[in-house]
Amino acid sequence: MAETNIIETFDYVVAGAGSAGCVLANRLSADPGNRVLLLEGGGKDDWIWFHIPVGYLFAIGNPRADWMFRTAEEAGLNGRSLAYPRGKTLGGSSAINAMIYMRGQAADYDHWRKLGLKGWGWDDVLPVFKRVEDHAEGGSEFHGTGGEWRVEHPRVKWDILDRIRDAAEAAGVPKIPDFNTGDNTGSSYFQVNQKGGRRWSAARGFLKPVLTRPNLKVETGVSVDRVEVTEGRVTAVVYRKDGATHRAGVRGEAVLSAGAVGSPLILERSGIGHGERLAAHGIDVVKHLPGVGENLQDHLQIRPIYKVNGIKTLNTEYWNLVSRAMMGVNYALFRKGPLTMAPSQVGAFVKSSPQYETANLEFHFQPLSLDDWGHGLHRFGAFTASVCNLRPTSRGSIHLTGSLPEDKPDIRPNYLSTEADRQVAVDSLKWARRIVFQKPMEPYRPEEYKPGAHVASEDEMLVAAGDLGTTIFHPVGTAKMGTDDDAAAVLDDRLRVRGIDGLRVIDASVMPAITSGNTNSPTIMIADKGAEMMLGDARGR
């Protein structure tokens, strides 16, 4: 393959223009004196389904928008391999995700601080969440305005979801107005990253407004291969475009923002990872860091489905030609209705058992049902009570299968591989039934379609959890921050790769422990904080 010498050198090279990469490109190029290169594997986000909210239905599983990864066959899922979607365009996964705005719990970040990571407690990160935010309701103790990250209330309501909230209340789950105050216990409508009925991806929020900056260069359709390290310092980023290999010189720092799947792979191709693993692929070891690609954490959603009667669901509306036509009209004229829908509009956070200090289950209630994403909606009226364990103890891994960027990764989440996680899975199915069979739902005669009333014993429920479980798309932790005495730490608490100068990882991979909620806005917070660290360190040099 043709190889070029370095023809351009940048102060900062960012690999991956996803949720984190778009924030970094914005912040690092704010000073016109910094030359910044942003490299993205996907194309431009010039496809209508990246912008109409329900576009995730067409983007997930479509190679135009999705890297099309798959997991290995998982023992905890009764031998099934899962599709493992990751966004592949400007905006990354924020261009195909479900748009739920969720920070997690104060206790998540206080836990990070207790692990010895300075500057990552709730008091430290709340101001960062607020300063990037533009909340539709205006500023308050917990929300910010004027930032790039737009947060709105959903533009669609469903009676079925209101009745589910009533049922949850009858089961002891309080109705709360806002999940984003540090304690998300209760039920509420999810807030969403949308503006006026359109998706608000990281690209729209952070990248588009600064594309005219002459000191920011964005390259799409490139495959970042590796970083080059000379005498312990990163000197170039090597990438492929149109069949040729290019090298971008790095004067200041390179940042890997290729996500929890992409970033550990770039590290390993660069010779940074477990020495024996790299040697097995013929990769010269630059730095033995055994934690690279380890510590994978993800939320496994278990998806019980309930048939209902006498109340609207998206299934019944979709299969009625008149109401389906009205959905299009409603969107075209008013930017309202089901086309603005995140798949889940109502959430509930509960404890699976009293031993947990804070809520450890998140329900995503959806007024629809399908066999799997990418399959059509069922023709009968039904809703889904997706539920996930927020703080799984199972740990997985993501590693190379070969030394080339086109080699598919080996993704092993190891779902349900601990006794604690298996118990939470069983308890979460019991919780779903506890909510659904309360009095407020009786008029709609709910009937459990999956896993089905015949599943009664804990052993049967565990098998059902393995059959119904799938990713809720939140992989994190594969290049975790940690203290000096943690042999598995890949980064220090300023997100610098241990033992290599001029290299950071800034994306969802850095989380030492997964947050208790959806992971996009925590990643955006991490990126804004990471950029502040980079610029601060540059001023100090």
Ligand X SMILES: Cc1cc2nc3c(=O)[nH]c(=O)nc-3n(C[C@H](O)[C@H](O)[C@H](O)COP(=O)(O)OP(=O)(O)OC[C@H]3O[C@@H](n4cnc5c(N)ncnc54)[C@H](O)[C@@H]3O)c2cc1C
Applying CB under 6 A, among 34, 94, 105, 384 the residue interacting with ligand X is 94
Nearest CB to ligand X, comparing residues 292 and 308:
292
Match 């970040």 to its residue by tokens.
Answer: 109
Applying CB under 6 A, among 53, 55, 76, 92 the residue interacting with ligand X is 92
Give me the least distance between CB of 135 and ligand X, in Å please.
15
Asked whether position 99 contacts ligand X by CB under 6 A, the answer is yes
Please answer whether residues 420 and 390 qualify as being in contact, where contact means their C-beta atoms are separated by less than 8 angstroms. Answer: no
Cross-strand bridge partners of residue 357:
none
Options 166-174, 292-300, 306-314, 517-525: segment touching ligand X (CB under 6 A) = 517-525
Q: Which of 369, 385, 396 is nearest to 428 (CA)?
A: 385
Asked whether position 104 contacts ligand X by CB under 6 A, the answer is no
Asked whether position 98 contacts ligand X by CB under 6 A, the answer is yes
Site for ligand X in 114-143 (CB under 6 A): none
DSSP 335: S
What does residue 167 show for φ and ψ, rounded to 5 degrees? -65, -40
Give the C-alpha separation, 393 to 391, whole Å. Answer: 7
Instruction: Locate 298 and state its tokens.
Output: 């993800």
Please answer whether residues 490 and 305 qualify as being in contact, where contact means their C-beta atoms are separated by less than 8 angstroms. Answer: no
Asked whether position 352 contacts ligand X by CB under 6 A, the answer is no
Nearest CB to ligand X, comparing residues 18 and 502:
18
Count Cα neighbours of 228 within 13 Å in the Cβ-side half-sphere.
14
Applying CB under 6 A, among 10, 12, 13, 16 the residue interacting with ligand X is 16
Please answer whether residues 125 and 525 qualify as being in contact, where contact means their C-beta atoms are separated by less than 8 angstroms. Answer: yes
Query: Would the CA dihedral through 49, 53, 54, 57 be positive or negative?
Result: positive
Applying CB under 6 A, among 28, 100, 160, 164 the residue interacting with ligand X is 100
- What is the three-class DSSP state of 81? coil
Options 132-140, 160-168, 448-456, 513-521: segment touching ligand X (CB under 6 A) = 513-521
Site for ligand X in 443-482 (CB under 6 A): 473-474
Give me the least distance between CB of 509 and ligand X, in Å please.
7
Query: In degrees, to the nearest 5, what angle opens at C-alpha 391 toward C-alphas 385 and 394?
Result: 105
Q: Is 224 annotated as a binding residue?
A: yes
Query: Would the CA dihedral through 375, 376, 381, 384 be positive or negative?
Result: positive
The single residue of 111, 274, 364, 474 carrying the catalytic annotation is: 474
Please answer whether residues 149 and 132 qualify as being in contact, where contact means their C-beta atoms are separated by less than 8 angstroms. Answer: yes
Asked whether position 340 contacts ligand X by CB under 6 A, the answer is no
Residue nearest to ligand X (CB): 18
Give me the least distance between CB of 325 and ligand X, in Å please.
27
Asked whether position 259 contacts ligand X by CB under 6 A, the answer is yes
Nearest CB to ligand X, comparing residues 94 and 105:
94
Asked whether position 62 contacts ligand X by CB under 6 A, the answer is no
Give me the least distance between CB of 366 and ligand X, in Å please.
12
Q: In which region does residue 110 sit, left (phi positive, over 0), alpha (psi from -120 to 50) or beta (all else)?
A: alpha
Instruction: Locate 127 and state its tokens.
Output: 């101001």
Residue 524: CB atoms within 10 A of its CB come to: 27
Give me the least distance between CB of 21 and ligand X, in Å please.
6
Options 71-79, 120-128, 243-251, 514-522: segment touching ligand X (CB under 6 A) = 514-522
Give me the least distance between CB of 485 and ligand X, in Å please.
27
Q: Which of 225, 246, 248 is nearest to 235 (CA)?
A: 248
Nearest CB to ligand X, comparing residues 194 and 521:
521
Asked whether position 341 contacts ligand X by CB under 6 A, the answer is no
Residue 307: CB atoms within 10 A of its CB come to: 19
What does residue 189 show for φ and ψ, rounded to 5 degrees? -80, 140
Options 18-26, 115-123, 155-163, 446-454: segment touching ligand X (CB under 6 A) = 18-26
Number of residues engaging ligand X in binding (CB under 6 A): 45
DSSP 310: S
Nearest CB to ligand X, comparing residues 18 and 291:
18
Asked whether position 252 contacts ligand X by CB under 6 A, the answer is no
Q: Is 274 a catalytic residue?
A: no
Site string for ligand X, 152-171 (x = CB under 6 A): --------------------
Asked whether position 218 contacts ligand X by CB under 6 A, the answer is no
Cross-strand bridge partners of residue 128:
none
Alpha carbon of residue 412 to chain centroid: 17
Applying CB under 6 A, among 455, 520, 525, 530 the residue interacting with ligand X is 520
Instruction: Locate 400 and state its tokens.
Output: 């190379």
Asked whether position 518 contacts ligand X by CB under 6 A, the answer is yes
Asked whether position 362 contacts ligand X by CB under 6 A, the answer is no
Q: Are strands 133-135 and 149-151 parallel, antiparallel or unpaired?
A: parallel
Where in 184-336 does DSSP place strands (E)? 186-189, 191-192, 194-195, 198-199, 216-219, 223-230, 233-241, 244-256, 272-273, 287-288, 300-302, 305-307
Site for ligand X in 296-325 (CB under 6 A): none
Give me the least distance between CB of 443 and ligand X, in Å please.
31
Give me the least distance between CB of 464 and ligand X, in Å please.
23
Nearest CB to ligand X, comparing residues 87 and 413:
87
Asked whether position 223 contacts ligand X by CB under 6 A, the answer is yes
Site for ligand X in 26-55 (CB under 6 A): 39-42
Give me the least distance between CB of 94 and ligand X, in Å please.
5
Please answer whether residues 346 and 189 qualify as being in contact, where contact means their C-beta atoms are separated by less than 8 angstroms. Answer: yes
Q: Are strands 216-219 and 36-39 parallel, antiparallel or unpaired?
A: parallel
All residues at 6 or more sequence positions from 354 whose CB lies less than 8 Å from its CB, including other chains:
none
Instruction: Locate 129 and state its tokens.
Output: 């969440």
- Residue ranges of the annotated binding site are 224
- Binding interface with ligand X (CB under 6 A): 15-21, 39-42, 56, 60, 85-88, 92-94, 96-100, 102, 222-224, 257-260, 262, 266, 405, 473-474, 507-508, 518-521, 523
Residues serving a catalytic function are 474
